[in-house]
Amino acid sequence: MDYLPVFLNIKQRDCLIVGGGRVAARKARLLLRAGAHIHIVAPTIKDELVGLLQQFDAMTYHAEVFHPRYLCNKALVIAATSNHAVNQAVSVAAQAKNIPVNVVDNPDLCTFIMPSILDRSPIIIAVSSGGSSPVLARLLRTRLEALIPAAYGRLATYAAQFREQVKRHFSHPDNRRFFWEKMLQGSFAEMVFAGRDQAAQDYLLKTLESSSDQPPTGEVYLVGAGPGDPDLLTFRALRLMQQADVVVYDRLVAPAILNMVRQDAERIYAGKRRSHHTLSQTSINELLVKLALEGKRVLRLKGGDPFIFGRGGEEIETLSQHHIPFQVVPGITAASGVASYAGIPLTHRDYAHSCIFVTGHLKDNTVQLDWPALARPNQTIVVYMGLLGAPELCRQLIQHGLPATTPAAIVQQGTTSNQRVLTGTLATLPTIIQNNPLKAPTLIIVGEIVKLRQKLAWFAV
């Protein structure tokens, strides 16, 4: 994150704009909407600013060149001249006094960026590209305009109006949040959007009166986060990620996906890597039960799909034994997601009539698999977690009947910007891996189907 998004209260505060043209006028109108007292410093000003000065008493014009004395007691400063030297002088002087400064169209001289704003007061949404592409920020704001009706502002006003009454009714903070989630996503919100204000108020009060203040009942959401690309999340996964109180997540959950969890949710890392477990599986099972019994909505976020080498079955078996309610949300497993992004179909009528998934963990320096079942023709083999065991894997497949020339690929961090695909054969893959250090997670794909990558690779990073 290049900039920390903040919202400044500049009501009745003195702010400085250096410049007298159209850009300065545009910034002045924005600051006026936020309730600021504005000082304009420029040798001359254009008609647009003259009109604003005549219209608003909260504006003062100083017909001079910029001098640092104008920074005294200012809440923020905007430099909007066409003279780079002046803009730079304003920036240097403001930063020396620790005053937030924005230099229009020059991010290097800014300590804050002016975003593109969607105003649904009291709801305000700011979109910024960090100064790199203001046009793109405006385009995104335009999309949000269509998605967020003006009535959302009225919805927020109602929430403020009844906030104290709801707070008095519920002694448990979680119950208050559950109540507002129900109101703001259900019939109450639809009534407000339709302009049925009295009906909306009556509905809210009736629902509040009938709502219990008993300790909330916990629940666990077992959610597959997919192979890494946030765009591959399901709608249901995202919805539950946004309403969970606490998230227990694995090492394979991509940071970009974890950032989509509700910001105030507690985060508990339960990651596992070879020979190092932050929490044992038994401890994770017990933790999920404990958190749910505390009344928490628990998000168990797992890379890929929770039921494919994710030990999700063990976790919900424990939940069931303790009568804990749970939901399961499938995710795109690494086999299908990574293979697709690598341009390698898992089945094809000319190459593979079946596909088999296995794990390639080393145990006592061996990979313990059903080798005769794997070493069959016209079959795709997908090996999860097989990076260290790749030499043994290839040796055993050759020993049990697959030709040494059988195509094979290994994919590093598939579907992400760090994706890397290396191809060879069962005979050459171990040497390829040795000469090209890879970072977990990786996926190995073996079979004639790998030949198609040359034609079908589409995902370029």
- pLDDT tens-digit map of 54-76: 999 999 999 999 999 999 999 99
pLDDT digits (tens, 9 = 90+) for 360-379: 876 666 788 999 999 999 99
| Single residue among 192, 210, 228 that ends a domain in this structure | 210
CA angle 106, 107, 109 (to 5 degrees): 75
State how far the Cα of 201 lies from the Cα of 164, in Å rounded to an integer.
15
Flag whether 148 is marked binding.
no
- Choose the catalytic residue: 272, 290, 364, 451: 272
The more confidently predicted of residues 116 and 89 is 89
Flag whether 423 is marked binding.
no
Residues 110 and 31 in one domain: yes
State how far the Cα of 300 lies from the Cα of 314, in Å rounded to an integer.
13
Flag whether 215 is marked binding.
no
Query: Within a domain: residue 124?
Result: no
Flag whether 428 is marked binding.
no
Query: Within a domain: residue 425?
Result: yes
| Single residue among 175, 193, 210 that ends a domain in this structure | 210
| CATH at 91 | 3.40.50.720
Flag whether 295 is marked binding.
no
Which candidate, 24, 88, 7, places its Cα nearest to that of 59?
A: 24
Residues 376 and 401 in one domain: yes
pLDDT digits (tens, 9 = 90+) for 290-307: 999 998 999 999 999 999
Query: Within a domain: residue 424?
Result: yes
State how far the Cα of 444 lies from the Cα of 397, in Å rounded to an integer.
13
Mean pLDDT in residue range 110-131: 90
Which pLDDT score, from 0 to 100, does residue 13 have?
Answer: 97
Which candidate, 421, 425, 416, 424, places its Cα nearest to that of 457?
A: 421
Query: Within a domain: residue 27?
Result: yes
State how far the Cα of 130 lies from the Cα of 124, in Å rounded to an integer.
18
State how far the Cα of 395 lies from the Cα of 393, in Å rounded to an integer.
6
Query: Within a domain: residue 164?
Result: yes
| CATH at 176 | 1.10.8
Mean pLDDT in residue range 137-148: 88
Query: Within a domain: residue 146?
Result: no
Residues 276 and 179 in one domain: no
Flag whether 119 is marked binding.
no
pTM over 0.85: no
- What is the residue-averaged pLDDT of the chain? 92
- Choose the catalytic residue: 74, 229, 245, 250: 250
Residues 205 and 223 in one domain: no
Flag whether 305 is marked binding.
yes
Strand-pairing partners, residue 420, are 412
Residues 352 and 436 in one domain: yes
pLDDT digits (tens, 9 = 90+) for 390-425: 999 999 999 999 999 999 999 999 999 999 999 999
Flag whether 271 is marked binding.
no
State how far the Cα of 234 lies from the Cα of 224, in Å rounded to an integer.
9
State how far the Cα of 218 lies from the Cα of 229, in Å rounded to an integer.
29
pLDDT digits (tens, 9 = 90+) for 188-199: 999 998 999 999
Residues 431 and 356 in one domain: yes
Give catalytic status of residue 302 as yes or no: no
Total number of domains constituting the chain: 4
Which candidate, 241, 254, 216, places its Cα nearest to that of 440?
A: 254
CA angle 57, 75, 63 (to 5 degrees): 50
N-to-C CA span, the chain: 21
Flag whether 23 is marked binding.
yes
Mean pLDDT in residue range 132-139: 87
| Single residue among 298, 332, 366 that ends a domain in this structure | 332
Give catalytic status of residue 272 as yes or no: yes
Residues 232 and 281 in one domain: yes
Q: How confident is the model at residue 78 (pLDDT cuts 50, 70, 90)?
A: very high
Residues 300 and 406 in one domain: no
pLDDT digits (tens, 9 = 90+) for 229-261: 999 999 999 999 999 999 999 988 988 999 999
Containing structural domain, residue 75: 14-114
pLDDT digits (tens, 9 = 90+) for 436-449: 999 889 999 999 99
CB 310 within 8 A of CB 359: no
Query: Within a domain: residue 3?
Result: no
CB 56 within 8 A of CB 32: yes
Query: Within a domain: residue 370?
Result: yes
